[in-house]
Structure 1
């Protein structure tokens, strides 16, 4: 799988940037949901957690690609 991702042009740096963007997006979505939705803090927390769960996946794929690129 890593070979296919690498061959398609995806690099470790791209995944790391996506992970950092996910962290920022999680915070932003939590803040905006908390401020503008009437559903309350529970819904804001769910949005933040949902998007925040993407970051570890991007970082893990980035680590795998980085190890692949060192070969």
Structure 2
């Protein structure tokens, strides 16, 4: 599964970013629900908890991808092209 994620351009940094975004989105959802009452409040609270539970999954996938990146540094084709264009843009490849 990890190699499939890497094949489609996912890396550990993106997963860590998704985890942080999930935490931020959960806090924003909670803050936005502070003025609600009744069933709307309960629904907003459940939504905030649901989104907050994504963070550990993203962080665990981030750690697993980081270990995969270190163990197998051979990058998939898509990532290799991205890194090559980064090198060329910075003038390293010239």
Aligned partner of 1:55 in structure 2 is 55
SS in 2 for 1:49: helix
TM-score, scaled relative to structure 1: 0.86
SS in 2 for 1:34: coil
Structure with a larger share of its residues in helix: 1
Aligned residues: 70
TM-score, scaled relative to structure 2: 0.67
> Which protein shows a greater Rg?
2
- C-alpha distance in 2, partners of 1:34/1:2? 39
Gaps of 5+ in 1: none
Q: Quick check: 1:2–1:65 contact (8 Å CA) kept in 2?
A: yes
Note the aligned Cα RMSD (angstroms): 1.5
